[in-house]
Chains A and B, each alone.
Chain A
Amino acid sequence: MAGYLVFAAVLAGVALGADWGRLADAFFRPDIAAELFPEIITVALVNTLLFTGLAFAFGLVLGMALALMRLSSILPYRWFAIGYIELFRGLPSLLVLFMVGFGVPLAFPEAQIVGGVYGAVSFGLGLCAAAYMAETLRAGIQAVPKGQLEAARSLGMSHARAMVSIILPQAFRIVIPPLTNEFIMLTKDTSLAYVLGVTASSIEVTKFAGDALNRTVNATPLVVAGFVYLLITLPLSQLVQRLERRGNRRK
């Protein structure tokens, strides 16, 4: 009870003491906010989703390959997977993006990454995400009881068939929450795309808001950009909750 009283008192103090006019002027000017639309959605949000989706898809495929290599009975595969995971978990995404965007092209001018900045960003971020996803997927595969594989094999399924039909579907269900976290982290990491020189058509939410900040000398674009990110992440966490409820019913 006392806790609630303290909370209410603090709230009242802030509400009465704050200079609301000045705050609104600095952080939410409706005219500046209105100016951001529709491009912040039609261009910036779409690009952010595109960068995230491509990086996630690439990272998931690579991460799955690494997870299976990590669990392989063939020693060199295991070594490679462990080396990769340790390396890319330890590197900042920004450094990898610089390497993909500038380092490699300097060394091999004739090599070109397909998809321009989209390809470079999703490749760079996907390389890093794959390391995390590989560990998540490995843990998911190992969390499926050993008896599931034995039952599948004893029905005559090959190891590969048992993995695809029996183990991986159950492993994915286990790793949906951590994979969603990975997706959310990737969403935020796409704000690094600007270092590779995005254009007016490939601009994403953070760079878009930063440009608007410079133009308007006002923080409103940043606040709007924040809400746009929540537009992505809040439905995702809802989705995860629903999937988890469904999974629990079946488990």
Chain B
Amino acid sequence: MAGHAATTDTAAISVRGLHKSFGPLAVLKGVDLEVARGEVVCVVGPSGSGKSTLLRCVNLLEEPTAGTVRVAGVEVTHPDCDIDGVRRRIGMVFQSFNLFGHLSVLQNVMIAQRRVLRRPAAVARRIARENLDRVGLAEKADAYPAQLSGGQQQRAAIARSLAMNPELMLFDEPTSALDPELVGEVLAVMRSLADEGMTMMVVTHEMGFAREVADRVAFMDGGAIVESGPPAAVLGSPRQARTREFLHRVLQQ
């Protein structure tokens, strides 16, 4: 099958031989990963292991140095790929929320619907309100991001992505910038998304979330996936020494 044409395979994300270097620094050293449709995959590992870079390569926020990435059958690493077209099918949630500061919460959830999907204002507003309701922020629609707590901002950012009807969602350490008491509300929204069958790739330090929600956990270290499998196996009885070491350190905290 040539180039970026659609294929019949069921993989939502398919990463093959992915390498990424920043100058002389090799961050990803040959990563292979598949995420099936409807699957929730959590990527865990120590800081600097390349988790976030891997995630950012999926929607090409980082340009891979070598290797291929296919999303929903489209090869995004192909030079002719219409990346804007693929990105509108991929939701992304950032560690630092990145809500648009000059827009109200409702406008944040509307703007890409309007400008990218060209939905009429009334339709975009209705869909925005539905998704704000879904993340429990219906009453904050007219607030500005700066007036919200971190947890509320992150839930608004999730609503902003959901309003685009994405086929899959990427989460880049969505709770790492939150005060501990606000982590739960964001994880609850993510859990309900997973329950509804959303395809999710989640880079996280929340081992409890990974254990309970993930279908599969991938442990990364040194720019490669060291082991992956069901959470009970990877987190419960890891085969690799590096995984055991990492879990030992994390669980001591």
Contact = CB atoms under 8 A, between A and B. Distances in A.
B94 A155 contact: no
B164 A155 contact: yes
B92 interface: yes
Given A150-B61, A165-B111, A165-B115, A155 B98 contact: no
B94 A147 contact: yes
Contact of A150 (B94, B102, B115, B146): B94
A170 B160 contact: no
A235 to B, nearest CB: 25
B209 interface: no
A157 B88 CA distance: 8
A242 interface: no
Nearest to B100: A166
B146 A250 contact: yes
B199 to A, nearest CB: 16
Contacts of B90: 154
Interface string A216-251: 000000000000000000000000000000000111
A156 B144 contact: no
Contact of A148 (B85, B98, B116): B98
A170 B102 contact: yes
B164 A250 contact: no
Nearest to B86: A156
B59 interface: yes
B101 A148 contact: yes
B161 interface: yes
Contacts of B115: 157, 161, 165
Interface residues of A toward B: which range? 20 to 34
A250 B101 contact: yes
Contacts of A150: 61, 94, 98
B84 interface: yes
Contacts of B65: none
A251 B61 CA distance: 26
A103 interface: no
Contacts of B89: 156
A240 B58 CA distance: 43
A26 interface: no
Interface residues of B toward A: which range? 20 to 34
B195 to A, nearest CB: 24
A154 B92 contact: yes
B112 interface: yes
A169 interface: yes
A140 to B, nearest CB: 12
Interface of A is mostly: helix
B212 to A, nearest CB: 27
A11 interface: no
B96 interface: yes
A173 B102 contact: yes
Given A150-B94, A165-B115, A250-B144, A155 B87 contact: yes
Nearest to A171: B102
A188 interface: no
Interface string B133-148: 0000000000010100
Contacts of B87: 153-156
B32 to A, nearest CB: 23
Interface string A158-195: 10010001100110010000000000000000000000
B61 A155 contact: no
Given A156-B85, A156-B87, A148 B94 contact: no
A169 B102 contact: yes
A150 to B, nearest CB: 6
Interface string A126-139: 00000000000000
A145 to B, nearest CB: 8
B70 to A, nearest CB: 18
In order of increasing CB-CB distance, the 3 nearest A-B pairs are: A156-B88, A151-B98, A155-B112
Interface of B: 59, 61, 84-85, 87-90, 92, 94, 96, 98-102, 111-112, 115-116, 144, 146, 157, 160-161, 164
Interface of A: 145, 147-148, 150-158, 161, 165-166, 169-170, 173, 249-251
21 contacts: A148-B101, A150-B94, A151-B94, A153-B61, A153-B84, A153-B87, A154-B87, A155-B88, A155-B92, A155-B116, A155-B160, A156-B87, A156-B88, A156-B89, A157-B116, A161-B116, A170-B100, A249-B144, A250-B101, A250-B102, A250-B144
Given A147-B96, A250-B146, 16 more contacts: A150-B98, A151-B98, A151-B157, A153-B61, A154-B59, A154-B87, A154-B92, A155-B87, A155-B92, A156-B84, A156-B116, A156-B164, A161-B116, A170-B101, A250-B101, A251-B146
